[in-house]
Amino acid sequence: MNRLLKLMEEKLLPFAHRVAGQRHLGALRDGFITLIPLLIIGSIFLIIQNFPIPGWDVKQVEWFGAAFPDLITLPAKATFDLLSLYVVFAISYRLAQHYKMDAITTGILSLVSFLIIAPKTLKSESGEVISNVIPMGEWFGSKGLLVAIIIAILVTEIYNFFLKRKIIIKMPEQVPPTVAKAFSALIPAFTMFSLMLVVSILFLQTPYHSLNEFIYVMLAKPITLFIANNVFGALATCISITLLWSIGINSGSLVNGVLRPFWLDLQKENMNAIQAGQPLPNIITEQFFDMIWIGGAGTTLAVAIILIFRAKSRQFKELGRIAGAPGLFNINEPILFGLPIILSPLMLIPFNLAPVAITVVNYFAMYFDLVARPTGVVIPWTTPPIIQGFMITNSWTGAVLQVVDLIIAGLIYYPFIKMVDRQKYKEEITEK
């Protein structure tokens, strides 16, 4: 185990730091983090409409009128169904900040470029095709995220290329800086918009009819099917997060930032199924992993509970009390660095094993419909366990599953904690 840790420190740690510091991945991560409050608010309104009280669907119509179910979901539609528009701006904005460019202008250029590329047709219920509209959902929702990410990065890089080489319209010094900045964007903007228009026209001549359809069929769909939406992909995600945490890298935001675009599409499919009154098609969403990280990465709330009630060492018992409160809100640095778990050859075994076991249990419990699947609603990551499971699945079965998860994690951690606690207890007796 020591040799493995040394190898990870020498080889994996530098590589992980380079990946975490990569500007495009950083912009991707920060852009999505910026939008999380928006998604949480939209999800709250979806929860109100689908609150798990028998007869609530009938009562809300009786109390507030027949239009209420559609009206109450408008905030959710305005966030999730236009998500690609916000993402293209947010990622471009963050990347422009890295280059110390005018972030607002860059974000707007990316937004307009995306609008030029994205299909702008809508098919009515009668089958009539309506042109020149921005339909909510489809390519402007989660389905268009991959194209939004590509355009955000491409436009920002092109704009940075023009600015660095001063291929811009230069205004006299007497002109106010704000006006000068606006004119400096003219040549890059014309070039980018022309490029997007040419790409859009070229794809109209293909069977795909749009860049969005091409990217979705060739990239997004296969990645979602073979990586993001199966038990093996879930296990790979889980292991990659705990392995990186094992050497002290806060890997959740890094891994989530890469996979979030694919998870969001799966979440949206589940939301659409709820609206249509159909069974939820997907198990793997970002919230599936939220249910696993009870107390934080490694499912460490179980560790705090064991320390509080079973530790003989005064130091560990006190650590459990200190770590218990933040652990309820999925903050586990006191446990990770106080026990410690990080870089501990012994404690890293259950730290990596417990989440894997829980991932398998949770996946198949949902696969065989013993537990409700994640609805797709986004809730704050600090939501306490049990409540979290209920809100994610909109069912009491989700809350029960998290209790089972805690027990499984506790059984895996207990023999290892007992060993380190016995050693610490002996040290404390010797010191006396």
> How far, in Å, are 56, 64, 178 from residue 173 at the CA level?
65, 61, 12
SS3 of residue 129 by DSSP: strand
What pLDDT, on a 0 to 100 scale, did the predictor assign at position 44? 83
What pLDDT, on a 0 to 100 scale, did the predictor assign at position 77? 86
Cα angle 259, 263, 269; round to 5:
160
**Whole-number Å distance between alpha carbons of 90 and 113:** 14
State yes or no: pLDDT of 37 exceeds 60. yes
**Whole-number Å distance between alpha carbons of 255 and 16:** 11
Maximum average pLDDT range among 116-125, 195-204, 227-236 = 195-204
State yes or no: pLDDT of 257 exceeds 80. no
Band (353; pLDDT cuts 50, 70, 90):
very high
What pLDDT, on a 0 to 100 scale, did the predictor assign at position 124? 65
List, as one string, the DSSP characters of 81-97: TTHHHHHHHHHHHHHHH
Q: Are 284 and 266 in contact (CB under 8 A)?
A: yes
**Choice among 156-160, 252-256, 404-408 with the minimum mean pLDDT:** 252-256
| Other CB atoms within 10 A of residue 3 CB | 8
Q: Are 372 and 385 in contact (CB under 8 A)?
A: no
**Choice among 93-97, 98-102, 177-181, 290-294 with the minimum mean pLDDT:** 177-181
What pLDDT, on a 0 to 100 scale, did the predictor assign at position 20? 62
Bond before 340 cis per omega within 30 degrees: yes
**Whole-number Å distance between alpha carbons of 203 and 211:** 6
Q: Are 247 and 19 in contact (CB under 8 A)?
A: no
What pLDDT, on a 0 to 100 scale, did the predictor assign at position 332? 85
> How far, in Å, are 29, 272, 392, 406 from residue 277 at the CA level?
33, 9, 17, 32
Nearest to 19 by CA among 202, 190, 240, 226: 240
Structure tokens belonging to residue 377: 């609603």
**Whole-number Å distance between alpha carbons of 126 and 111:** 31
Band (9; pLDDT cuts 50, 70, 90):
low
**Choice among 85-89, 185-189, 248-252, 353-357 with the minimum mean pLDDT:** 248-252
**Whole-number Å distance between alpha carbons of 100 and 270:** 39
What pLDDT, on a 0 to 100 scale, did the predictor assign at position 260? 81
Nearest-10 Cα torsion for 203, 207, 210, 211: -80
**Whole-number Å distance between alpha carbons of 395 and 374:** 9
State yes or no: pLDDT of 258 exceeds 80. no
> What letter would DSSP give residue 140?
G
Per-residue pLDDT tens digits for 100-120 = 999 999 999 999 999 999 988
Q: What's the whole-number average pLDDT of the chain?
A: 85
State yes or no: pLDDT of 151 exceeds 90. yes
Structure tokens belonging to residue 246: 């094992």
State yes or no: pLDDT of 408 exceeds 80. yes
Mean pLDDT of 42-58: 78
Structure tokens belonging to residue 332: 């586990």
**Whole-number Å distance between alpha carbons of 90 and 34:** 7
**Choice among 16-20, 107-111, 283-287 with the minimum mean pLDDT:** 16-20
Stronger pLDDT, 239 or 128, i.e. the higher one = 239
Q: Which residues have CB under 8 Å from 47's CB, separation 6+?
A: 377, 391, 394
What pLDDT, on a 0 to 100 scale, did the predictor assign at position 339? 85
State yes or no: pLDDT of 202 exceeds 80. yes
| For the chain, percent of residues with pLDDT exceeding 90 | 34
Q: Are 324 and 361 in contact (CB under 8 A)?
A: no
What pLDDT, on a 0 to 100 scale, did the predictor assign at position 5? 53
pTM, 2 dp? 0.74
Please give the backbone phi and psi of residue 199, each rounded to the nearest 5 degrees, phi first: -60, -45
| Other CB atoms within 10 A of residue 98 CB | 15
State yes or no: pLDDT of 198 exceeds 70. yes
**Choice among 21-25, 163-167, 196-200, 323-327 with the minimum mean pLDDT:** 21-25
Helices (H) and strands (E) in the chain, counts: 22, 2
Mean pLDDT of 336-363: 88
What pLDDT, on a 0 to 100 scale, did the predictor assign at position 107? 94
SS3 of residue 210 by DSSP: coil
> What letter would DSSP give residue 378?
-
| For the chain, percent of residues with pLDDT exceeding 70 | 89
What pLDDT, on a 0 to 100 scale, did the predictor assign at position 291? 93
> What letter would DSSP give residue 143?
G
DSSP E strand stretches across 108-168: 121-123, 129-131
SS3 of residue 121 by DSSP: strand
What pLDDT, on a 0 to 100 scale, did the predictor assign at position 208? 84
Band (69; pLDDT cuts 50, 70, 90):
confident
Mean pLDDT of 269-298: 89
What pLDDT, on a 0 to 100 scale, did the predictor assign at position 369? 93
State yes or no: pLDDT of 318 exceeds 70. yes
